Amino acid sequence: MKKILLILLVSILAFGCTTLDEELNDTVDSDVAATTTSTESLLESAYQAMRMFDTQDNIFALQEHTSDELAGPTRGPDWDDGGVWRNLHTHSWASSNNFINSAYTGLLSGIFRSTQVLEFDPSPEQAAQARFLRAFFAFHLVDNFGLVLGREPGEDLTTPPSITLNRPEGINFVISELEEIIDDLPDNGDPTVANQNAAHFLLAKAYLNKAVYMDTNENNGANPGPFSFDAADMNTVIEHVDAIISSGDYDLETMYFDNFSPTNTDDSSENIFVSENVRGNNPANTQSRWHMTLHYNNQPDGWNGFVTLAEIYDLYEDGDMRRNFTPDYFEGNTGMNAGFLLGQQFAADGSPLEDRNGDPLAFTKDFSLTASSEVAGIRVIKYPVDFQSIGSPGNDYVHFRYADALLMKAEAILRGGSATMGDTPESLVNSIRELRQTSNLASVSLDDILDERARELYWEGWRRNDQIRFSTYLDAHFEKPETTTTYLLFPIPPDALATNPNLTQNPGY
């Protein structure tokens, strides 16, 4: 009979372990396991693995700190952390970087948990959800590490994973999985569970980036582009976005920050797929989205950490609500706004705040990676604070959003796809800009798409992916030199290499 890992070991990873032999051998027969756990609990565990996207480290650090829209400056003794944030910004990280290792571990945990669901005779819909989640984690492994690892359901966990796919094989696996299971997913538009429109979105994302993932060298290393985007792939992007549009489940949200509010799943007409948070229940990692950037003396207080770059702030026109907007529920709770925080900061009663030295708490555009003051750098509030439960907020973490889908369609048309439904790049981009209270663009180029994606999707975890596709990721920008193709992929953690002979380190590490 097959050996099944106890539910208590669901968090043990499928990538190979060093000191877990005793735990891995603590298994039971499948008939016994069926009485100690359930398909529902295993599926919930797979969803819980997505919590790693909510925090300020892990995938968020890899996707945002390495891009041109976020930095973590050192402020005296604060936030140096051995240079880990600075190394991400300057593309000088090593294979021992803890955030890279934890991201790799977390993604493989997600694949493992999703695969375990398939061992317990799930219904067709449950199996489809599990395979969607597995494809979701696999997509991010392909994007960040250039590979996919996995096991067959019930496979012996004391041996290295039997499935090792390189980058082209990995993205084709993601696509084939999603195409096979999409019709078995729920089509009720519930963003808190894997649904048909979420699969359409991830398929659009996969086909949009397929040229990047297929362009590898003989060592499975990544190439910097420019890339050759196949017109058929771009038409498939458009096909999947059109399916989302035609579902009638979504519309652009008039109030931009309702997409990220403490009640955003109820408020937003845009959110396609989210990780649900229930106010007052832990874990609720979206609290990191304000704590990681606010000063100690803001209301609420923060960790005085991350900032955006002046170049991102300057992309906006005056009046663009994405840059500065005050939700009604901020009144009486804080003197700040949602969006970007620049200049003098205020308390809820309107009085000016001070820093720890008694000087004005006035954020500046300028900062230094190595020697910043308390107030240096523009702060960012993408997820409005839940003042009813600051430590356990109700803000659901947004993975897929309708505005992103429209921008993908606009980009796909510009890259050779055929326009459909009367849409043009201009009409798609301007439909977003009009609701964000900024002027229309007379024409839209690929450079305009990259800029609009920064304006619309800042700090949502897509910037590295976008910059690589547009071949700007390795370019020099604020205190970052031009860097080599090594940094298009992250290194495989040393522990994983030591325990899995099927793995090869990515080039340059």
**pLDDT the model gives residue 10:** 33
Contact 168, 161 (CB under 8 A): no
- Report if residue 54 sits inside a domain: yes
- Interval 387-408 mean pLDDT: 97
Strand 338-341 relative to strand 379-381, pairing: antiparallel
Amino acid, single-letter form, for residue 97: N
Q: Would you place residue 282 in the very low, low, confident or very high pLDDT band (cuts 50, 70, 90)?
A: confident
Give domain status of residue 105, yes or no.
yes
Q: What is the pLDDT of residue 159?
A: 74
Selection from 136, 112, 121 nearest residue 37 by Cα = 121
Q: Which pLDDT band, with edges at 50, 70 and 90, does 189 fall under?
A: confident
| Least confident stretch, 27-41, 173-187, 368-382 | 27-41
Does a cis peptide bond (omega within 30 degrees of 0) precede residue 283? yes
For all residues of the chain together, what is the average pLDDT?
Answer: 92
Which pairs with CB-CB distance under 8 Å and at least 24 residues apart come from 360-365?
A: 361/295, 361/297, 361/298, 363/295, 365/310, 365/313
Domain contains 418? no
Range of the domain at 177: 1-69+95-185+474-509
In a domain, 501, yes or no: yes
Residues 6+ apart with CB under 8 A from 106: 49, 52, 58, 59
pLDDT at 68: 98
Query: What is the average pLDDT across 319-331?
Result: 98
> Which residues are paired to 376 by β-bridges?
364
CB 321 within 8 A of CB 256: yes
Looking at residue 156, its pLDDT comes to 72
Q: Is 474 left (phi over 0), alpha (psi -120 to 50) or beta?
A: alpha
Whether pLDDT at 157 is above 90: no
Residue 35 inside a domain? The answer is yes
Tell me: pLDDT of 11 over 70: no
Q: How confident is the model at residue 430 (pLDDT cuts 50, 70, 90)?
A: very high
CATH of the domain at 1: 1.25.40.390
Containing H/E element for 32? helix 30-36
pLDDT-derived band at 155, boundaries 50, 70, 90: confident
Mean pLDDT throughout 197-210? 99
Show the tokens assigned to 490.
């992250």
Question: How many whole angstroms separate alpha carbon 242 and alpha carbon 406?
Answer: 9
Does residue 335 lie within any of the structural domains? no
Q: What is the pLDDT of residue 152?
A: 74
pLDDT in tens, 455-464: 999 999 999 9
Residue 8 pLDDT: 30
| Model confidence pLDDT, tens digit, residues 480-502 | 999 999 999 999 999 999 999 98
107 within a domain of the structure (yes/no): yes
Residue 142's pLDDT is what? 98
Contacts of 239 (CB under 8 A, 6+ apart): none
- Per-residue confidence (pLDDT) for residue 12, from 0 to 100: 32
Residue 137, in any domain of the structure: yes
Tokens of 45: 């565990």
User: In this predicted structure, what is the pLDDT of residue 26?
Assistant: 34
Buried b (16+ CB within 10 A) or exposed e, 487-509: bbbbbbbebbbeebeebeebbee
pLDDT tens track for 126-154 = 999 999 999 999 999 999 999 999 777 77
Give CA–CA dist 339/177, Å, rounded. 37
Over residues 39-67, mean pLDDT: 97
Each residue of 338-356: pLDDT tens digit? 999 999 999 999 999 999 9
Q: Which of 443, 343, 334 is nearest to 387 (CA)?
A: 334
* Number of domains comprising the chain: 1
Q: Work out the pLDDT band at 297, boundaries 50, 70, 90.
A: very high
- Give tens-digit pLDDT for 71-109: 999 999 999 999 999 999 999 999 999 999 999 999 999
What per-residue confidence (pLDDT) applies to 277? 94
